[in-house]
Amino acid sequence: QGMTPLLIAASNAGSIEIVRLLLAKGADVNATRASGTTAAAAEAPDPNDPLAKRRKHSGGAGGYTPLITAASANDLETARLFVEKGVDVNAATRRGDTALHFAAGAGNLAMVKLLLAKGADVNAATLDAIPVRKGPIGLNHLTALMYAAPYGTPDLVRTLIDAGAQINAKDIRDMTPLMLAVASETQNPDVVRLLLAKGADVKPKSVMGETALDWAKKFGNPEVIRLLQEAGAPGSAEEQADAAAAETADARAAMSKAVALLQRSSTEFFKESGCVGCHHQNFTAMAVGAARKAGIRIDETAAEEQLKVVKTQWMGAQEPLLQRLDPPGASDTLSFSLLGLAAVDYPADAVTDAMVLNFAAEQTLDGSWCYGAIARSPISEGCIARAAIGARLLQLYGPPGMKAEFDQRIKRARNYLLEAPTKTTDDLAMRLLGLKWVAAEKEAIGSAAQALLQQQHSDGGWAGNRYLASDAYSTSQAVYALGESGAEAAKDAGHRRGIEFLLKTQQPDGSWHVKSRAVKFQPYFQSGFPHDHDQWISAAATALATVALGNTLPGGVERAAR
């Protein structure tokens, strides 16, 4: 697959001494990963293609250099070592990502300054996204400023702009840095204010017809909305209210309807896409596991087929995973698949060994599995969620022979959970779960539970952030976390009201509808789940609601009050 020892060492954050040793022994600092070669990469450049020169400069065969690999691991000292060796800071992967892209996406200001000082192209843009069955993924023409916009600090964004970053550049979806900055649960009004002061245009529309103001309204922050309105940003008409739900009698009936819909849709999703979707196969596996444990009838044939689909995908990736050839979606893809397998009590084997070893190696120096750049609220945005899930998966699937190393990794994740600031309901719920999983002190768990309860709305639900209305995804996360935590708060009336919110908001077809607020990059298609452009987050919410309700059985809703 073309991975050298130096590339593998550079991909593991904190391995600088190994890197120094390999360099001292003559390791090639400019070696590139050979995987990912395509016929298109080998073709002669089209002289009429404005990106032809960029394609020629990018790695025609994978293209991950040691510097790019260190930057993707957010390892400043290792990246500095490679820069001091005189490597090409503008080398790019086959997709067009440079070290500057990864540094900006990780919010690493020191690394960004280091690379810019050595001549990094601040306007280098990604080229050819990975194609899938329904068409190309919409992640082309992304610059470092676009990677920084959703999560970056004002200092980071200012540094890129002062270096000449095109403030009104557009990606293939016609999304601008300003749009991406507001299309995040972690949006920063100071970043928005800075972009506007530097000349960001508020009028452009994406290919979906959405403006920066439209995106800001999806997240509800009044300060951000006001800034855009004062700058003259246009917006679309307000969305229609959701259809009325029919209250379900009890948790068992709600779960039965939901899991039947999820299983049908997961089958249809794979048929249409040919791939395993986090929001379908993996979340459905969690719902199936919860239903089984509650004694609710499921389609065992469909469940077996879905398990086979997930296992087959990863079975063919064992060798690449062990060589740190990370899958598309990186640690998120692995973590959701492993969570789905754990939910149906899938035992550890050679396949899960390869998955968890690759996953563990992607842990960042701070103990999380955090990476920025692509914000997909709420499923793939929170670093606290990544740390909590990461620690749990290392516990469940860590090879016994590596217990000492994995215990240290879990300790790093635990420290991150205790120290990282919370911004969203996802942060609060997953911190509570994570602290329970890593056996934190009772006081820390109790404090986390109370912080989560304080965000509950008067209707009994929780929202993604304090500005939005209650939704089933956030409520399911909160209800499950409170129930699992073992804290006294699990007996709180708020927990029961959360369950009641779920029972009264389920749709007659068995789904829970949650409005999407993620910037889309997957080609749209119907997966057999209702709610059209909201179908994938709604499928995930329906699965989580099933898991949360299952945690109250046997005994139905009454158990929550005891």
pLDDT per position as a tens digit, 172-224:
899 999 999 999 998 999 999 999 999 999 999 999 899 999 999 999 999 99
Rounded CA separation 204/202 (Å): 6
* DSSP assignment letter at 183: S
Task: Give me the DSSP letters along 292-346.
Answer: HHTT----HHHHHHHHHHHHHHHHTTHHHHHTT-PPTTHHHHHHHHHHHHHHTTP
Rounded CA separation 49/18 (Å): 42
- Comparing C-alpha atoms, which of 506, 543, 495, 459 is closest to residue 254? 506
Asked if residues 462 and 477 have their Cβ atoms less than 8 Å apart, the reply is yes
243-268 tens-digit pLDDT:
566 666 789 999 999 999 999 887 76
Residue 435's contacts (CB-CB under 8 Å, 6 or more residues apart) are: 388, 414, 417, 418, 444, 445, 448, 485
Name which CATH class applies to 5-166: mainly alpha
Task: Find the length of the chain.
Answer: 562
Q: With b meaning 16 or more CB within 10 Å and e meaning fewer, what string describes 156-187?
A: bbbbbbebebbbebbbbbbbbbbbbbbbbbbb
Residue 242's pLDDT band (cuts 50, 70, 90): low
Angle at 153 between CA 149 and CA 155, to 5 degrees: 110
Rg (CA), the chain: 23
Residue 157's pLDDT band (cuts 50, 70, 90): very high
Residue 77's pLDDT band (cuts 50, 70, 90): very high
Q: What pLDDT does 391 receive? A: 98
Residue 369's pLDDT band (cuts 50, 70, 90): very high
Angle at 279 between CA 278 and CA 283, to 5 degrees: 85
Enter the tokens of residue 202.
């508020």
- Comparing C-alpha atoms, which of 57, 3, 54 is closest to residue 31? 3
Q: Is the pLDDT at 30 greater than 70, yes or no?
A: yes
Chain centroid to CA 82: how far? 29
Angle at 539 between CA 534 and CA 545, to 5 degrees: 120
Q: What pLDDT does 83 receive? A: 96
Task: Give me the DSSP letters along 218-281.
Answer: HH--HHHHHHHHHTT---PPPPPPPPPP---S-HHHHHHHHHHHHHHHHHHHHHHHSS--IIII
β-partners of residue 135 are 132
484-504 tens-digit pLDDT:
998 776 677 899 999 999 999
- Comparing C-alpha atoms, which of 251, 245, 247, 277 is closest to residue 547? 251
Q: Which amino acid is at 125?
A: A
Query: CA 177, 142, 174, 207 torsion: positive or negative?
Result: negative
- Comparing C-alpha atoms, which of 207, 210, 206, 230 is closest to residue 219? 210
Q: Does domain 251-561 bear CATH number 1.10.3720.10?
A: no
32-48 tens-digit pLDDT:
865 532 222 222 333 33
Q: Which amino acid is at 437?
A: W
Enter the tokens of residue 54.
């960029």
Domain ranges of the chain: 5-166, 251-561
- Comparing C-alpha atoms, which of 325, 324, 351 is closest to residue 337? 351
- Comparing C-alpha atoms, which of 276, 383, 380, 270 is closest to residue 337? 276
